[in-house]
Amino acid sequence: MRFLFVIFAIVAVFSRVYSETIPDEIDVAIEVTDEELKAKAAIKDFEIVVAFGQAVENVDNNNPETIAIELGKVVLLKNLRNVINDMITCSRLIAKRVVDLVRQYNKVLPRVQRNCAAFSTSITMNQDKFDFPRRIRGSKESVWVEYIQLALQHKPLNLGQGFPDYPPPSYVSEALLTATSSNPMLMQYTRGFGHPRLVTQLKKLYSGLVNRDLNEQTEILVTVGAYEALFCILQGHIDEGDEVIIIEPFFDCYEPMVKAAGGTPRFIPLKPNKTGSEISAADWVLDEKELEGLFNNKTKAIILNTPHNPLGKVFNRQELEVIANLCKKWNVLCISDEVYEWMVFEPYEHIRICTLPGK
**Which residues lie near ligand PLP (CB under 6 A)?**
225-227, 251, 305, 309, 337, 339
Crossing angle of the two packed helices 93-105 and 110-117, in degrees rounded to 10: 100
Residue 227 CB, shortest distance to ligand PLP, in Å, is 4
Residue 309 CB, shortest distance to ligand PLP, in Å, is 4
Strand bridging mode 28-32 / 264-269: unpaired
123 or 353: whose CB is closer to ligand PLP?
Answer: 353
Residue in the shown chain whose Cβ atom is closest to ligand PLP: 225
3-class SS of residue 49: strand
Residue 82 CB, shortest distance to ligand PLP, in Å, is 25
Read off φ and ψ for residue 42, nearest 5 degrees: -100, 130
One-letter amino acid identity for 56? V
72 or 307: whose CB is closer to ligand PLP?
Answer: 307
Residue 221 CB, shortest distance to ligand PLP, in Å, is 14
222 or 226: whose CB is closer to ligand PLP?
Answer: 226
64 or 265: whose CB is closer to ligand PLP?
Answer: 265
Q: Could you count the other beta carbons within 10 Å of the beta carbon of residue 175?
A: 11
73 or 313: whose CB is closer to ligand PLP?
Answer: 313
Q: How far apart are CA 236 and CA 283, in angstroms?
A: 34
Beta bridge partners of 74: 50
> Which of 42, 43, 50 has its CA nearest to residue 15?
50
Residue 224 CB, shortest distance to ligand PLP, in Å, is 7
Residue 142 CB, shortest distance to ligand PLP, in Å, is 11
Half-sphere exposure of 189 (CA within 13 A, CB side): 2
For the chain, helix, strand, coil in percent to 5 are 35, 15, 50
83 or 351: whose CB is closer to ligand PLP?
Answer: 351
Residue 31: in which H helix or E strand, if any?
A: strand 28-32
Residue 287 CB, shortest distance to ligand PLP, in Å, is 22
Enumerate long-range contacts of 208-211, CB under 8 Å, 24 or more apart.
209/352, 210/352, 210/354, 210/355, 211/355
69 or 302: whose CB is closer to ligand PLP?
Answer: 302
DSSP assignment, residue 224? Answer: S
130 or 227: whose CB is closer to ligand PLP?
Answer: 227
Residue 319 CB, shortest distance to ligand PLP, in Å, is 17
Q: How far apart are CA 95 and CA 1, in angstroms?
A: 22
How far is C-alpha 297 from the chain's CA centre? 27
72 or 263: whose CB is closer to ligand PLP?
Answer: 263
3-class SS of residue 81: helix
Residue 225 CB, shortest distance to ligand PLP, in Å, is 3
One-letter amino acid identity for 108? V
